[in-house]
Amino acid sequence: MGHCLIVDDSRTIRRVERKMIEALGFDACEAEDGHDALAQCAVEMPALVLLDWVMPNMDGLEFLKALRRLPGGHAPRVIFCTSQVDMSFVSRAIEAGADEFVMKPFDAETLNAKLAEVGLV
For the chain, 121 residues long, give each residue's pLDDT as a single digit of tens. 799 999 999 999 999 999 999 999 999 999 999 999 999 999 999 999 999 999 999 999 999 999 999 999 999 999 999 887 778 888 889 999 999 999 988 999 999 999 999 999 8
Residue 116, C-beta contacts closer than 8 angstroms, at least 6 positions apart: none
CA-closest candidate to residue 102, choices 85, 119, 88, 116:
85
Q: What is the pLDDT of residue 89?
A: 84
Q: What is the pLDDT of residue 87?
A: 81
Q: What is the pLDDT of residue 1?
A: 73
Cα separation, 2 vs 48, whole angstroms? 8
Q: What is the pLDDT of residue 22?
A: 97
Q: Output the pTM of the full model.
A: 0.95
Residue 50, C-beta contacts closer than 8 angstroms, at least 6 positions apart: 4, 5, 6, 7, 8, 17, 21, 79, 81
